[in-house]
Amino acid sequence: MSNLDTLLQILSWTLIISGSFFVVVGAIGMLRFPDFWARLHAASVTESGGVILLLAGMCIQAGLTLITVKLMIIGLFLFITGPTSTHAVANAALVSGLRPKSLATHPNSAEIESEKEIDA
Amino acid sequence: MIYTIAILAILIAMALVLIRLIKGPTLYDRVLAVNSFGTHTVLLIGVVGFWNGRPDFLDIALLYALINFVGTIAILKFFRYRAIGDVMWSPPQQDEER
Amino acid sequence: MGLRIHMYRLVKCSYKSAGFKRILRALNWETEADAKVAKLRFIAYALFLGALWLLWSGIYKPMIIGFGATSICLVLLITHRMNSVDEDRVPIELNPIKFLGYFFWLLVEIAKSNIAVTKTILSTSMPIRQNLFEVPYTQRTDLGQVIFANSITLTPGTVSVETETGHFLVHAVSYTADDMDALADMDTRISATELAVPS
């Protein structure tokens, strides 16, 4: 029994520490990336990896109680609203005419790009 | 102990995001930073609750997540339409409303 | 504020004759079966709200449960009123077991792309190859399309930027030729979780 306990403790420690790592990495990325479009992805590292790992670690610490249910509801909510607000920010930036600084060339993207340069 | 590490990590991340919030050249950088800051706050409230031995803080964390989402959408909507309420009588930008 | 939205919906509905017919139908149920389904839905919603309250509050004193019952009644009243204006609802046409399988596949995918973006952030040279490209979707329902777009955004490294009919505009930070294939794979997986067209 106590063997299982220590195993769970170690698992939750690992989850929380790696979650903290992803949170910090996301913030570093937000500071280091050169333009807005790249920073979107840095923010989503925090929003997906950091949130999931931290909440999972806390779930294991809480055990089977109502607190776990609350944590899971928070996780579900962040899971739905996080991408939605990221999409909203990206879409607003696109509509306002903000474009990435440099784009890789790709047959699929070439024509959209030239078209967008004009109305930007 | 473990929570102290997590709290410190989240606080460092918040400080970095705050720098981006102040520096951010465009409006959208700032909105993104505010949104990210809100997510960090939700996590911080949850972790502080556990560190303190009072997981009831999670209610506040969920409330903060709700406000953060609605606030981000409201800011973006305001800067797009220059109005927070109904945009039904706005200039004919979107033609799907009729 | 609430009244204004209410009026706006009424006006908007009566613009289309089909919408006007829908109001009539909502106020005065067309068939017996319609009314039965509506009643069942009402009861299921009430039970769902009650369960959510009990899980969320964790304090089982008569006064707190009374507050819960009152607020559930209020919510039911408001949703019933809103429903009689226009019957707007999103049907969940997903296979729950397949969706659960997809969810765990998505978690693995998120972990992989998290590590990839972390490498990009922490490397000194910052190998960024940004690209905006179109990804076609094949989902039948609105909900399936929302799940696809949200999954694209949830995996770090790709963000869905614009939704147009037939395809999404996606931004990738470190673009490789494999990205299109990976997203097409995700697309077929989500389409597989959808239920077949009801005949």
Helix, strand, coil percentages (3-state) for chain B, rounded to 5, are 75, 0, 25
What confidence tier does B14 reach under pLDDT thresholds 50, 70, 90?
Answer: very high
Query: Tokens 């949850």 identify what position?
Result: B46
Q: Which residues form the domain of C146?
A: 96-193
Chain B / chain C CB contacts < 8 angstroms: 7
Report which of B64, B73, B2 is spatially closest to residue B31, judged by C-alpha positions: B73
Same domain, C80 and C109: no
Does B37 lie at the interface with A, CB-CB under 8 angstroms?
no
Same domain, C100 and C122: yes
Angle at A79 between CA B62 and CA A13, to 5 degrees: 80
If you average pLDDT over residues C96-120, what whole number do you get?
89
Number of Cβ pairs closer than 8 Å across A and C?
118
Query: Do both C71 and C128 map to the same domain?
Result: no
Read off the pLDDT of residues C49-70 as tens digits, 9 standing for 90 and up: 999 888 888 788 889 999 999 9
Position A110 scores a pLDDT of 42
Question: Looking at the structure, do residues C103 and C63 belong to the same domain, yes or no?
Answer: no
Q: What is the pLDDT of residues C110-124, one digit of tens each?
A: 988 899 888 888 888
In the block, residue with structure tokens 């109904």: B86
The answer to whether C159 contacts A90, with C-beta atoms less than 8 Å apart, is yes
- Same structural domain for residues C61 and C42? yes
Q: How far apart are CA A15 and CA A17, in angstroms?
A: 6
Residue C124 phi/psi, 5° resolution?
-75, -25
Q: Which residue has the tokens 């949703």?
A: C79
CA A93 to CA C169: how far, in whole Å? Answer: 13
Task: Please tell me whether residues C110 and C162 are part of one structural domain.
Answer: yes
Interchain pair A31, B16: CB under 8 A: yes
The pLDDT tens digits of the residues spanning C176-192 come to: 778 788 888 888 888 88
pLDDT at C32: 61
Do C121 and C188 lie in a common domain?
A: yes
Chain C contact for A64, CB < 8 A? no
pLDDT band at A116, cuts 50/70/90?
very low
Nearest CA in chain A to C51: A69
Residue B53 is given by DSSP the state T
- Would C133 be classed as within a structural domain? yes
Structure confidence at residue C19 (pLDDT): 56
- What is the domain count for chain C? 2
Subunits with 3+ C-beta pairs closer than 8 A to A: B, C
Q: Is C44 among the domain residues?
A: yes
Given a contact cutoff of 8 angstroms between Cβ atoms, the answer to whether C193 and C99 are in contact is: yes
Write out chain A residues lying below 8 Å of C133, CB-based: 106, 108-109, 112
Q: What average pLDDT score do residues B69-95 get?
A: 73
pLDDT tens, B20-41?
999 878 888 899 999 999 999 9
Note the pLDDT of residue A23: 92
Model confidence band, residue B18 (pLDDT cutoffs 50, 70, 90)? very high
The reply to whether C64 and C114 lie within a common domain is no
Report whether C143 contacts C174 (CB < 8 A). no
CA-based nearest residue in chain C for residue B58: C56
Q: Is the pLDDT of residue B11 over 90?
A: yes
Sign of CA dihedral C163, C178, A76, A92: negative
The answer to whether position C198 is within a domain reads: no
Highest average pLDDT, of C2-6, C14-18, C131-135, comes from: C131-135
Range of the structural domain that residue A9 is part of: 2-119
- pLDDT 10s digits, A59-103: 998 888 888 888 888 899 988 898 899 999 988 888 887 777 666
Q: Are residues C113 and C184 in the same domain?
A: yes
Tell me, yes or no, if C68 comes closer than 8 A to chain A by beta carbon.
no
The answer to whether residue A108 scores a pLDDT higher than 50 is no
C184 near A CB under 8 A: no
Task: Say if residue C72 is in the same domain as residue C10.
Answer: yes
Domain count, chain A: 1
Nearest to C55 among A69, A83, A101 (CB): A69
Residues from chain A that touch C122, judged by Cβ atoms under 8 A, are: 25, 28
**pLDDT exceeds cutoff 70 at A21:** yes
Q: Clarify whether residues C134 and C160 are in a common domain.
A: yes
pLDDT greater than 80 at residue B76: yes
On the 0-12 / 13-18 / 19+ scale of CB atoms within 10 A, C153 is buried
**Residue A40 CA: distances (Å) to CA of B15, B91, C81, C195:** 18, 30, 40, 33
